[in-house]
Amino acid sequence: MSFEKKHSTTCGCGNCNSLINTTGLSRKGFLKTLGATTVGLGLMPVSTYALQEEGKAKEILKSEAVKSGKVQHLTLLHTADIHGQVTVHDEFFWEEGKAVFKKRGGFAHMKTMINQLRRQNPNTLLLDGGDCFQGSAIAALSEGQALIPLMNNINYDLMLPGNWEVAYGKKMLIKDMGGYHAPKVCGNMFHEKTGEMIFPPYQTFYLAGLKIGFVGYNDPLTPVRQSPAYSYGINFSQPEKNIAAYVKLLREQEKCDMVFALTHMGLAQQLHLAAQPFAEGVDYIFGADTHERIRQPLKGTYSKVTEPGSFASFIGKLDIVIEDGKIKGEVYELLEVDPEKYEADPEMLEMLEKTHEPYNKEIKRVLGKTTTPLMRYFVIETPMDNLITDAVMWKAKPDIALSNGFRFCPPLVPDAKSGEADITMEYLWSMLPVNSDVKMAEVTGQQLWNWLETEIENVFAKDATKRFGGWLIRFNGMKIKFTIGNDKDKRLQEVKIKDTRLDVNKTYSIVACEREGDPESVLCRIKDVKNVHKLGYTLHDVMEEYLKIHSPVAPKIEGRAVATDAPSTLLTQVEGVNYFFR
């Protein structure tokens, strides 16, 4: 079977004007930024066929109808939230109510796996859902540049920017994304000055005799979630502003047989999108951002939703069998990148060695040791962030030490024999990929209470479009009790500062890392703070000094934040659906 790629610019017809003007874009801006790419990947004739063993991908490959080309069979592979993790690492699993750790990931093994899957079905597309070039030492120190040749070597077919792709600013975002050989897609990121799209809003491909279309969306809350400076010069919009227009364009003018949304908005927002009438016509939402491991697609009113995990530890795989323009079988699997199952690709191994070489002297330094697993993943409280806030509390001695809540960084698990694991500078960059200045400020008890209510709302808002893709803020010096199921501003039950009930009239000192672009009176999203000043060192400085003195460390969950209606081991923001993180 032949496997060839062809790129061509499509859609220059005047009919697009009436569709796209409903999104607030000018026809000139649309045509300039569109560049929808069509790729031909071989044709197969359609004939009578029925999938006998629906739900089993291997049965599709074994089918004589597929082998003979009597039906159409296409495969979509999906990665996301790689966060610069290119080598084999410890990975966290939740099995029978406890944490289990296994070695997973590594680009050399993932490349072998992807090539094997492509050989099984040449009619395969490989997609990435964003957050690739931020989250590790080589990513941060090269501003994403180190990741680009590695991704190109794997030969992706379509790329979406994620919320962390803006970490190095607009100029580097465009440079890094432009370095990818694959087409890009994103329908809700705009140049602030001109209003024109930064990336094409959609792309189309020919695959197994079908024409399929993709429309892309980054998280519209990106400028709020992260340091505002990262997004200077970029405007974001909600998908509802234009997704219906693009789906109509893809269905009616591009004549696509299937339409997919490639998104980086978090599972809650993606499930919300799947339930909205403006998403009608989208077959699947290939989601990302919250690192969820969806093993069976979640069915919304109008679309199915998936997410493929993170850190190059997993690949989402969707197989579709079509006869006479009708879907006869769909099989979705979440595949693990197991280094024992897939041998390392020699070419990629060599590339990884050369990529790390300029940084090895610095990043291989051992800063300290841990005797308990360093990990995030839990929504409410994590050992890793307890370690970070312990260090900040020790160094700055405020009333409260804060650390922003997020999920990137693979676990670090002590060796079974020694009972310890080395914390290297490389691992510190994975824990804290932005080395921010440490700042102190003063707030009233009432400000703290109101801010905590807002932070809890950001995580558990009943309106899914208002949920951040991150996790609850982390801290030391404070203990809180709250109820997730309560209404906004009515969740907090109790706040204690150093074991004493919060006094709303008292002034407290807080320490947190600086968010570039925030006004001087804002610290860690707390507004109108007083007596703000930098302490003269960065968060990495604090961690290095703390680990040198206190190693080995043994952080664990201590009940600093307690939900009355959820366990301390809560692993997802999403409830009310048949999904469990494992």
Q: How far apart, in whole angstroms, are the C-alpha atoms of residue 116 and residue 108? A: 13
Phi-psi domain of 409 (left: phi exceeds 0; alpha: psi -120 through 50; beta: other): left
**CA dist., res. 243 & res. 501, Å (int):** 48
Confidence of residue 156 (pLDDT cuts 50, 70, 90): very high
Asked whether residue 541 is domain-assigned, the answer is yes
Confidence band (pLDDT; 50, 70, 90) for 29? Answer: very low
On whether both 334 and 433 belong to a single domain, the answer is no
Is 102 exposed, middle or buried (CB count within 10 Å of its CB: 0-12, 13-18, 19+)?
middle
Structural domains counted in the chain? 2
How far apart are alpha carbons 119 and 137 in whole angstroms? 33
Instruction: State phi, psi for 143 to the nearest 5 degrees.
Output: 55, 40
Q: Can you tell me the distance from the alpha carbon of 393 to that of 387, in angstroms, rounded to the nearest whole number?
A: 10
CA dihedral 474, 475, 479, 485 (to 10 degrees): -20
> Mean of the pLDDT values across residues 526-530?
94
pLDDT band at 45; cut points 50, 70, 90? very low
Write phi, then psi, for 240 (nearest 5 degrees): -60, -20
The reply to whether 254 and 195 lie within a common domain is yes
Banded model confidence at residue 68, pLDDT cuts 50, 70, 90: low
Region of poorest pLDDT, from 174-183, 352-361, 384-393, 453-462: 453-462
**Which pLDDT value is given to residue 4?**
36
Closest CA to 286 of 257, 302, 268, 308: 308
Q: What is the pLDDT of residue 122?
A: 93
Same domain, residue pair 58 and 110: yes
CA distance 349 to 83: 18
Is 523 part of a structural domain of the chain?
A: yes
What pLDDT, on a 0 to 100 scale, did the predictor assign at position 72? 86
- Residue-wise pLDDT tens digits, 566-580: 999 999 888 768 888
- The SS3 call for residue 460 is helix
pLDDT digits (tens, 9 = 90+) for 377-429: 999 999 999 999 999 999 999 999 999 877 789 999 999 999 999 999 999 99
Q: Is the per-residue pLDDT at 33 higher than 60? A: no
Note the pLDDT of residue 470.
Answer: 67
Q: Is residue 356 part of a domain?
A: no
- Does any domain span residue 571? no
For residues 304-323, give the mean pLDDT. Answer: 95
Which of helix, strand or coil describes residue 77? strand
User: What DSSP state is assigned to residue 487?
Assistant: P
In angstroms, how far is the first alpha carbon of the chain from the final one?
38
Query: DSSP alpha helices (H): ranges in 68-132?
Result: 107-120
What percent of the chain stands above pLDDT 70? 90
Q: Is residue 575 part of a domain?
A: no
Strand ranges, E, within 148-276: 158-159, 189-191, 202-207, 210-218, 234-236, 258-264
pLDDT of residue 288: 96
Range of the domain at 425: 364-563
The pair of structure tokens assigned to 524 is: 């860690």
Residue 76 φ/ψ, nearest 5 degrees: -115, 120
CATH number for position 553: 3.90.780.10
Q: Quote the strand ranges of 413-570, DSSP E.
A: 421-424, 437-444, 474-476, 478-482, 492-497, 500-501, 507-513, 530-538, 561-563
Does residue 328 share a domain with residue 216? yes
134 and 173 belong to one structural domain: yes
Instruction: Write down the pLDDT at residue 56.
Output: 60
The DSSP-derived string for 16-68 is HHHHHGGGT--HHHHHHH---B--B-----------SSTT-HHHHHH-HHHHT
Per the prediction, the chain carries an average pLDDT of 88
CATH of the domain at 219: 3.60.21.10
Residue 8 domain-assigned? no
pLDDT tens track for 94-141: 999 999 999 999 999 999 999 999 999 999 999 999 999 999 999 999
Query: Which of 224-238, 302-316, 320-334, 418-432 is the least confident region?
Result: 320-334
pTM of the model: 0.88
In a domain, 578, yes or no: no
Answer whether residue 55 shows pLDDT above 60: no
pLDDT exceeds 50 at position 503: yes
Peptide bond between residue 358 and the one before it cis (omega within 30 degrees of 0): no
Same domain, 322 and 219: yes
131 shares its domain with 244 = yes
Rounded distance between C-alpha atoms, residue 519 and residue 343, angstroms: 50
In the predicted structure, residue 185 carries a pLDDT above the cut 60: yes
321 lies in the same domain as 387: no
Check whether residue 295 and residue 389 sit in a common domain.
Answer: no
Mean pLDDT, residues 322-347: 92
Q: How confident is the model at residue 240 (pLDDT cuts 50, 70, 90)?
A: very high
Evaluate whether residue 402 is within a structural domain: yes
Q: Contact at 8 Å (CB) between 76 and 286?
A: yes
Q: Are residues 283 and 398 in the same domain?
A: no
The pLDDT value recorded for residue 37 is 34
Q: Is 252 in the same domain as 376? A: no
Whether residue 99 sits in one domain with residue 246: yes
Alpha-carbon gap, residue 259 to 245, rounded angstroms: 13
- Smallest CA-to-CA distance from 578 within 315, 310, 297 is with 297
Considering 349, 379, 394, which residue would you say is the last residue of a domain?
Answer: 349
Could you tell me how far CA 396 lies from the centroid of its own chain?
A: 32
